[in-house]
Amino acid sequence: MADSLEDLEKRRAVIQAEVVQLGDMRAGSITDTRGRCGNPHCHCHQPGDPGHGPYPRLTRKQGGKTVTETLSSSGALAKAQREVAEYHRFRQLGGQLLAVNEEICRLRPVEEPAASAGEKKRPKSSVKRSPAK
């Protein structure tokens, strides 16, 4: 059975309350990268060596460009993971909120504007006469 308008409004209020409780967030994804340095005598240039790393990085779009931030410590990594997880939660709640609002809009009855008895008709625009010559 479909939810009533009242039930949907309650569900919307619950979702809105969850959105208000969200903490710090930022968009992006966290990946590990490996690499080789410029020193040809380093171990990373030996056959079969995986190279330096892994180095965790946060990558995101900013102003239409990809921005990468190296997360230099385990504390910075943990903080970024929390913030990205909060952003994913925000996106999930936003989708739920939109779905509930669409259903509310579909179920809410149309309210026709009431025509008042004393309502005047709009006056017709007058035709200006040119002054007599």
How many other CB atoms are there within 10 angstroms of residue 100's CB atom? 21
First to last CA, the chain: 78
pTM over 0.85: no
Q: pLDDT category, 76, cuts 50, 70, 90?
A: very high
DSSP tally for the chain: helices H, then strands E: 2, 3
What is the tens place of the pLDDT at every residue in 39-73? 999 998 999 888 888 899 999 999 999 999 999 89
Q: Nearest to residue 32, comparing CAs of 86, 81, 101, 90?
A: 81
DSSP reduced 3-state for 122: coil
Cβ(122)–Cβ(51) under 8 Å? no
How many other CB atoms are there within 10 angstroms of residue 50's CB atom? 11
